[in-house]
Every structure is written in structure tokens, then in C-alpha cells.
Amino acid sequence: MTTLPHPELFVRWFRQAAPYVHAFRGRTFVIGFGGEMIAERTRFANFVHDLNLLAALGIRLVLVHGARTQIEAELRAKGLRSRYAKGMRITDAASLTAVKHAAGVLRVEIEALLSQGLPNSPMAGGAIRVGSGNYLIARPIGVVDGVDFQFTGAVRKVEAAAIARRLETGEIVLVPHIGYSPTGEVFNLSWEDVAESVAIALKADKLLLLSDRLPENRKGEPVHEMTAREAEALLKLNPEPRDLARILRCALRSLAGGVGRAHIVSRRSDGGTLLELFTHSGVGTMITADPVEQLRPARIEDAGGIIALIEPLEADGTLVKRNRERLEQEIGNFEVMVHDGVVVGCAALYPYPESKSAEFACLAVAPDYRGSDYGERLLGACEARAKARKIRRLFALTTRAQHWFVDQGFREAGVDALPGERKALYNWKRGSKIFLKRI
Ligand SMILES: CC(C)(COP(=O)(O)OP(=O)(O)OC[C@H]1O[C@@H](n2cnc3c(N)ncnc32)[C@H](O)[C@@H]1OP(=O)(O)O)[C@@H](O)C(=O)NCCC(=O)NCCS
């Protein structure tokens, strides 16, 4: 029997992933990758295992693949040359044959990998249905600056409803870099464009693009988070390497088209997709249309995220255990701080209108995010709510964060300072300190 070298690290990591698991269930992710990724057998097999895991967590997955490497290999074997203009392949009749062969072979290979389910393998019991088909209507690129691109095409329409129906049944949808025109012609498309178009058409929550390289700052270090505006500035400053610039542009257009987040992930990192999605700092580059963090009133779908956040604090006695059903009923009392769709902070306001006071309660910020003023901003949002309801006094009960409240302008008071109804519920055994603030 093999034992884990550091089981405590595994447990810590697994717990840390819980909020992401809650946040991602039922979401639609489009993942695009080139043919060169499929050519690296072992790494690709690991990548497919990771996709299988994502699907098992209830994420709706659409995979978009390319075949540049495979098309080039076939043309080379036939003694033919690949021709490119403006960074795009000129698909002549011979290339189109290679495109069709590659698409057929790759489809079978990807489906085979996703169909594995042997015991004692990462795919045990996990065989997943794959839906592939004619989801793309294409048009020819035509003649650009005197160059006839022949069978190289662009996406004209994505049959989003047809893809969504397959996703609804729990299938992973595989979309190749091939489109058909209404006249029955076949066109070779770039996988980046297809991934972008599919993500926009599906209003995907995330578009993940696997790339050779990540965007870098002036010091040559990878950038892990960027807004669309920052990415545009980076592109202007540094439009090379061309493949990365192309991927960045697709990411930017997808955000402009309503996709929630775009991520660029290195195709060379084993498990890179999982690390990018399930860790706070990630290993790739996340590009967002708006600021990544958001402070807003909680909605019912945040209940799972709030519970994941407060559970460890309830377990160690920092917070009083809350009844889950009541938490859902009282969700309207909560404000949440959300980072990339994950609840990383929460606080609640419970008004006692008769005494023109309110309890500021259930304040929690996830450990990785402490010290960034999230606590203060959550208090600010609750204060604003309280003022709107003509409340004059906030009170809080705490056993561990006395000084935090003092720093925020609260002063310690006795139990008698609590409104009558709240005083009746005061837990003398817990012995919380009471803090008051006039607002
Ligand atoms: C208390 C808590 C919400 C603060 O969140 P936060 O986002 O880190 O707070 P802010 O960034 O606004 O403030 C950070 C400051 O508060 C201080 N602080 C944080 N927790 C503190 C505590 N328990 N006691 C005293 N000071 C504390 C930090 O040292 C920091 O001080 P600095 O600015 O001088 O460095 C967070 O630490 C937490 O979730 N703790 C566990 C849950 C808890 O105790 N909740 C209160 C129960 S009533």
C-alpha cells in the first residue's frame, strides 16, 4: 500500500478547494487547445483525466481542439508544404484532405481517452459520454490582400442551443476546428476563433485557452491576473509572440462578448488547469472584464459559499454555529465579498428597529484574503444598510476579534447595552464581549 508523503497538505488543499467546487457546479467552461497538446501523449492523457474530474464536479464542459501539428505532419509525409499568410494556414485541396484526416483521428483519440474507466486508474467509474457534431456554420475567409485562403474559414454561426442540449444531458461536447457551409463545403478554422465563438454563443462562465506561453510583465514574469484594459495595454506594448497575441485577442473578444472570465493556461504544466481553477493565485493568467472582486448583497446561490467560508470558524469556536436552513432564510441580511465568483468574505446585519439598533454578525474573511480591508468594507456596506433603515447603533458580539472592532471605532460595553430581545438570547457560557458603535 502506498501512503501519501504529506497527507496534511492534501487535506488542507482539498478543504481549500471546497469554495471553488461550490462556485463551479453547473457552470459552463469552454476549454480550447491546439493539436500540439494532443501530440504529447502522456501529458494529454493526464489533461483528459483532469477534464474528467471537472465533469465529475458538475461543470458543463465544451472542448475545442485544433490540429495544426497533425495537419503539418501529414502534409510533410506527402512531401507537401504548409503555406501561411497573416498567421493563418492557406487551406488548399490537399491541406483540406489532411484537415479532414486529422479531425477524424483526433476525435476518435479524444473520445477513446474520455471513455476509459478501468479500476485503479484516475478514470475509474468515470466514463463520460462525448457529444460531437456539426455545431459550426462556417464561411470562407475569401481573398485578403490578394491572397486566396481557399478552404480556410471563419465561424459564421454556432448552434448554441444544440450544444446546450447535449450539456444538459451531462455530456462533454467536443467541437473540432471544422465548420460546414450551407452549401455543404468543409472549412478549416482556427481553434482559437472557434473556442472564442463557442464561448460567446453559450455565454460561458469561463473560457480557458491552453497556450505555449503566458503573458509576461516588463520583468519577464508571468502575470496571473489582468483586467481587459491591462491586457489591451500589454498587447499594444508587446504584440509578440504572435501565437500568444492571437490567444490574448480571442480572450479579450470573448470578454467583450459576455464571457465571465478568460484564462490562459500553460499547456506544458501538468495539472495546470486544475491549479488555475482551484487555487487562489492560480498558475495561468486570468483576464476579467471588470474588477475581480465585488462587494454586494448576498443571493440565495451564495449560501453554499457562505457555509464553506464559516464552517471552519464554527468548528474552532470563533463563530457561533448557525442553523443552515435559517441561514438560507436570512440570506437577505448578508453582504458578501466575492472574488472571481467565490465567496471570500461575508457579514450580516440583524436590525432591532424598536431600539434603533442592529447586530453586525457573522463577519468572516477567508484566510488568504485577510488584511486587504475586506473586513472593513463589509462593515462599511452593513453600516450603509443600517443608515438607510435609520438605525443609529451597531453592536457586535465577539470572543476573538475585540481589537479589530476597536480599530473600527467600536467601544466595549456591558450586556445591558443589548436590546432586550437580544439580551435574552445572550449566551453567558460563551461570554462574548460586546462592542458598540454609533453610526
Ligand atoms: C476579523 C476579520 C473578519 C478581519 O478581516 P480582514 O479583512 O483581515 O480585516 P481588515 O483587512 O479590514 O483589517 C485588518 C486589520 O485587522 C487586524 N485583525 C484581523 N483580525 C483580528 C483580530 N482577530 N483581532 C485583532 N485584530 C485583527 C489585522 O491585524 C489588520 O491590522 P493592520 O491593518 O494593523 O495590519 C478576519 O480576521 C476573520 O475572518 N477572522 C476570523 C473570524 C472572526 O474572528 N470574525 C469576527 C467574529 S465577531
Give yes or no for residue 179 CB within 6 A of ligand 1.
no
Query: What architecture is domain 7-290?
Result: 3-Layer(aba) Sandwich (3.40)
Taking residues 283-311, report their average pLDDT.
92
pLDDT digits (tens, 9 = 90+) for 227-261: 998 999 989 887 777 889 999 999 999 999 999 99
Closest protein CA for atom 9 of ligand 1: 375
Taking 80 as the threshold, does the pLDDT of residue 124 lie above it?
Answer: no
Band of pLDDT at residue 138, cut at 50, 70 and 90: very high
Does residue 241 have a cis bond before it (omega within 30 degrees)?
Answer: yes
Please give the distance, rounded to the nearest whole angstrom, from the Cα atom of residue 101 to the centre of ligand 1: 60
Q: By mean pLDDT, which of 95-99, 237-241, 359-363 is the weakest?
A: 237-241
Ligand 1 mutation target, pool 360, 370, 399, most atoms within 8 A of CB = 370
Give yes or no for residue 430 CB within 6 A of ligand 1.
no
Closest protein CA for atom 17 of ligand 1: 404
pLDDT digits (tens, 9 = 90+) for 151-166: 999 999 999 999 999 9
Taking 90 as the threshold, does the pLDDT of residue 293 lie above it?
Answer: no
Note the pLDDT of residue 2: 58
pTM score above 0.75: no
Band of pLDDT at residue 118, cut at 50, 70 and 90: low
Closest protein CA for atom 4 of ligand 1: 375
The residue extents of the domains of the chain are 7-290, 294-438
Q: By mean pLDDT, which of 98-102, 260-264, 289-293, 343-347 is the weakest?
A: 289-293
Q: Is the CATH number 3.30.750.24 carried by domain 294-438? A: no
Q: Which residue from 209, 234, 207, 205 is spatially nearest to 222, judged by alpha carbons?
A: 234
Rg of the chain taking only CA atoms, in angstroms: 26
Note the pLDDT of residue 1: 52
Please give the distance, rounded to the nearest whole angstrom, from the Cα atom of residue 401 to the centre of ligand 1: 7
Closest protein CA for atom 14 of ligand 1: 371
Please give the distance, rounded to the nearest whole angstrom, from the Cα atom of residue 80 to the centre of ligand 1: 66
Helix crossing, 191-202 with 242-256: angle to 10°?
10
Note the pLDDT of residue 127: 67
Grid cell for residue 32:
480550447
Please give the distance, rounded to the nearest whole angstrom, from the Cα atom of residue 412 to the centre of ligand 1: 17
Assess contact for 394 and 386: CB atoms under 8 A.
yes
Please give the distance, rounded to the nearest whole angstrom, from the Cα atom of residue 372 to the centre of ligand 1: 10
Please give the distance, rounded to the nearest whole angstrom, from the Cα atom of residue 397 to the centre of ligand 1: 14
pLDDT above 90 coverage of the chain, percent: 78
Taking residues 377-384, report their average pLDDT.
97
pLDDT digits (tens, 9 = 90+) for 317-357: 999 999 999 999 999 999 999 997 899 999 999 999 999 99
Please give the distance, rounded to the nearest whole angstrom, from the Cα atom of residue 340 to the centre of ligand 1: 22
Please give the distance, rounded to the nearest whole angstrom, from the Cα atom of residue 361 to the centre of ligand 1: 14
Write the burial class of residue 14 (CB in 10 Å: 0-12 exposed, 13-18 middle, 19+ buried). exposed
Give yes or no for residue 372 CB within 6 A of ligand 1.
yes
pLDDT digits (tens, 9 = 90+) for 7-65: 888 888 888 888 899 899 999 999 999 999 999 989 999 999 899 899 989 999 999 99
Assess contact for 193 and 15: CB atoms under 8 A.
no
Note the pLDDT of residue 335: 98
Band of pLDDT at residue 219, cut at 50, 70 and 90: confident
DSSP states along 130-197 = EEE---EEEEE--EETTEE-BTBEEEEEE-HHHHHHHHHTTPEEEEESEEE-TTS-EEE--HHHHHHH
Going by the DSSP 8-state scheme, the letter that residue 300 receives in this structure is: G
pLDDT digits (tens, 9 = 90+) for 252-265: 999 999 999 999 99
Taking 70 as the threshold, does the pLDDT of residue 224 lie above it?
Answer: yes
Ligand 1 mutation target, pool 293, 398, 404, most atoms within 8 A of CB = 404
For the CA of 407, the nearest atom of ligand 1 = 16
Note the pLDDT of residue 18: 87
Note the pLDDT of residue 117: 66
Give yes or no for residue 313 CB within 6 A of ligand 1.
yes
Please give the distance, rounded to the nearest whole angstrom, from the Cα atom of residue 400 to the centre of ligand 1: 9
Give yes or no for residue 347 CB within 6 A of ligand 1.
no
